[in-house]
Amino acid sequence: MRILLTNDDGIHAEGLAVLERIARQLSDDVWIVAPETDQSGFAHSLTLSEPLRLRKISDRHYALRGTPTDCVIMGMRQVMGAKPDLVLSGVNVGANLADDVTYSGTVAGAMEGTLQGVRSIALSQAYVKQDGAKVVPWETTEAHAVGVIRKLLEAEVPAGTLLNVNFPACTPDEVTGIEVTAQGKTDFDLSVDERKDGRGFPYYWLYFASRAGRPGEGTDLYAIRENRISVTPLKLDLTDYSVQDQLTKVLG
């Protein structure tokens, strides 16, 4: 099995090293093409207005000055020379739940793999904050991911569907199970922080002023809150079929 790894936290991210150790328990044919720099929040974006710079770090390890989507395309079309059997994207620092999946570069890596016709899985590790610092229990992903992935590879997943896997912010022994979930809903307020540089010109930072999830039972948010591993099947087809008939009546 040929496996292509990517992420959105960058080539030097600890989560990518964790993912490589996981992948090497599944295969000895593992390739990495990951962003040169942090691409968090870039979602499913392509780089079309400037060239892509590819840097070989070591055997089968490449850094790309581009997005996670660019990395998957370059991995398949340029680096590997053929499509892999599996794309793994992650392991992200922090969960990708509910509306976060629409912003996530980690999910986008799996999305692009799916568009290319390859079985694809996004993996993210939730964390907690202690004294303002992130405490990421990587050991939880590392302890459970191989078994989860092996089970998922046995499942019949239709074309156009990717799998979004999130691991709870707890120790490996505190994980209470695995749950197949639906995408939850998060209420958040994105705000703009205006500042001035040394010459007095304005610049801006976007930030989440507030975030509150709706952890309804059966959702990814609920599973993570209950220390379960969440597996959410996501479809590339964004059509809202429930509204089609209604729109047809209005417009007909």
Sequence ranges of the binding site for a divalent metal cation: 8-9, 40, 92
Q: Alpha-carbon Rg of the chain, whole angstroms?
A: 19
The annotated binding site is made up of 8-9, 40, 92
d(CA 118, CA 35): 20
Q: What is the dihedral of CA 236, 241, 243, 248, to 10 degrees?
A: 120
d(CA 232, CA 93): 18
Q: Which regions of 97-154 does DSSP assign to beta strands (E)?
A: 119-125, 128-130, 133-135
Q: What are phi and psi of 47, to 5 degrees?
A: -95, 110
Largest CA distance in the chain: 60
Question: Do 207 and 191 form a contact (C-beta atoms < 8 A)?
Answer: yes
> Coil, strand or helix: which one is 75?
helix
d(CA 1, CA 29): 7
